[in-house]
């Protein structure tokens, strides 16, 4: 079925936001023959504050919707991860060789590639248009879009970020909400130290349970940043001071090399990680990605969760035949909680442990005990297997810790 490109025609699904969550939903629906329109206030390619790291979860979800590494110019496969304990101890965690388990890529390029993929699947994507108003009218949803007029759809998927305009217009926004994490990021060039090839995670004593990172990109560039939890001990002033002094830390300067230079300005963004309390649906509206607060509460990573929730929302709409909102809401809410809730709770407990420097040091020491712990902790950290498997035995399978990676061909 051809996709609608007229603002006067009703479509099956209107998606607000063309990031990973919105495009994943669009691709899934369009390939199933549904009429899909995506609207985003940005014009792609556009930058977004992000660590640019892709976990195994993100890679599996991206591969499933058809994205390939060659679609992204500055894709960098990661073969190992280096952890630094608060004590200064460093541990190398090798990733398995049978496929890709971690990668990095600038969000500017990744999101643009996903927009192209959504268009090739048959979705209509309108760039540079914001949402002005929304009305739920029984069997349809009407949205007033700046510069386009009124669009009518059977369902609306809100993939419009931590400060979702859709959520606000529906009266579901939480005043003063700033997320559970806060991240700072800046690119650096002329990196000649080991960070040019290595992915570093530094557990700094003053950032726990957060961490600093350096993710490698081609041509001697890295994504450098840190994320801290909003636990009452970090405020805007202290976080800014931490950022300004990041390169003064000897181990970070040594990893980057003497000639490393920061590019442009740093960016900062609140990171939502409250899937356990977030409102996921409202009538014929489904919230996905950051709009659903679907970020890993342990790491602050959200690309994998964004693509996953976008796909689950699309599958829920298909399960309801694009008509029954009760079925759609029920399928989506059950699916999200089945995939994410137990791991969220386990990660919240682990965060409490990692907030204590002594326990964080002990954790890194245990991880580095032998080859088995180093290899399998890396898979676990990058979400190849569910963290809460001990609490959800239904997830256990015979190939646990043996599953092949992504993009093997």
For the residues of 35-56, what is the DSSP string, one character each? -EEEEESS-SS-------EE-H
Asked if the structure places residue 84 within a domain, the reply is no
Cα gap 208→145, rounded to integer Å: 42
Mean pLDDT of the chain: 90
pLDDT digits (tens, 9 = 90+) for 70-82: 999 999 999 999 9
Asked if the structure places residue 336 within a domain, the reply is yes
Average pLDDT of 250-274?
93
CATH code, domain with 167: 3.50.50.60
pTM above 0.85, yes or no: yes
Cα dist from 132 to 157, 253, 279, whole Å: 15, 46, 21
Structural domain that includes position 305: 10-77+107-177+274-349
Asked if the structure places residue 54 within a domain, the reply is yes
Asked if the structure places residue 52 within a domain, the reply is yes
Average pLDDT of 34-40?
98
- pLDDT given at position 140: 95
Q: Evaluate if residue 400 carries a pLDDT over 90.
A: no
- pLDDT given at position 3: 40
Using pLDDT thresholds of 50, 70 and 90, give the confidence band for residue 357.
confident
Asked if the structure places residue 4 within a domain, the reply is no
Asked if the structure places residue 138 within a domain, the reply is yes
Count the domains in the chain.
Answer: 1
Asked if the structure places residue 220 within a domain, the reply is no
Angle CA 401–224–236, to nearest 5: 110
Cα gap 307→286, rounded to integer Å: 14
Using pLDDT thresholds of 50, 70 and 90, give the confidence band for residue 231.
confident
Cα gap 306→386, rounded to integer Å: 16
Cα gap 168→319, rounded to integer Å: 27
- pLDDT given at position 1: 38
Q: Evaluate if residue 5 carries a pLDDT over 70.
A: no
Asked if the structure places residue 72 within a domain, the reply is yes
């Amino acid at each position: 079925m051809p996709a609608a490109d007229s603002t006067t025609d009703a479509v099956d699904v209107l998606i607000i936001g063309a990031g990973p969550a919105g495009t994943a939903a669009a691709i899934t629906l369009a390939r199933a023959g549904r009429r899909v329109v995506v609207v985003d206030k940005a014009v792609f390619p556009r930058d977004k504050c992000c660590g640019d790291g892709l976990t195994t979860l993100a890679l599996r979800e991206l591969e499933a919707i058809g994205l390939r590494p060659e679609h992204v110019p500055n894709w960098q496969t990661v073969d190992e991860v280096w952890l630094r304990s608060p004590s200064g101890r460093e541990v190398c965690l090798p990733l398995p060789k049978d496929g890709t388990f971690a990668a990095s890529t600038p969000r500017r390029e990744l999101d643009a590639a996903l927009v192209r993929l959504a268009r090739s699947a048959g979705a209509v994507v309108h760039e540079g248009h914001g949402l002005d108003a929304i009305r739920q009218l029984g069997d349809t949803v009407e949205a007033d879009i700046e510069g386009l007029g009124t669009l009518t759809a059977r369902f609306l998927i809100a993939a419009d970020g931590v400060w979702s305009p859709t959520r606000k217009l529906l009266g579901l926004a939480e005043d003063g909400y700033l997320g559970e994490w806060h991240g700072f990021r800046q690119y650096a060039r002329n990196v000649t130290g080991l960070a040019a090839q290595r992915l570093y995670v530094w557990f700094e004593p003053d950032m726990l349970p957060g961490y600093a990172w350096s993710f490698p990109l081609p041509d001697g560039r890295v994504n450098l940043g840190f994320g801290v939890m909003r636990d009452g001990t970090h405020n805007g002033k202290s976080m800014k001071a931490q950022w300004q002094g990041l390169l003064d830390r000897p181990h970070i300067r040594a990893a980057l090399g003497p000639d490393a230079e920061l590019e442009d300005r740093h960016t900062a963004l609140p990171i939502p990680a409250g899937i356990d309390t977030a409102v996921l649906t409202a009538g014929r509206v489904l919230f996905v990605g950051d709009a659903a607060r679907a970020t890993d509460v342990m790491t602050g990573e959200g690309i994998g969760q964004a693509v996953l929730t976008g796909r689950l929302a699309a599958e829920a709409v298909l399960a309801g035949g694009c008509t029954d909102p009760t079925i759609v809401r029920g399928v989506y809410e059950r699916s999200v909680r089945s995939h994410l809730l137990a791991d969220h709770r386990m990660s919240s407990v682990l965060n409490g442990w990692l907030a204590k420097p002594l326990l964080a040091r002990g954790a890194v020491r245990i991880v580095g005990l032998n080859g088995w712990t180093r290899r399998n902790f890396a898979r676990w950290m990058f979400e190849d297997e569910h963290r809460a498997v001990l609490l959800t035995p239904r997830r256990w399978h015979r190939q646990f810790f043996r599953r092949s990676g992504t993009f093997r061909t």
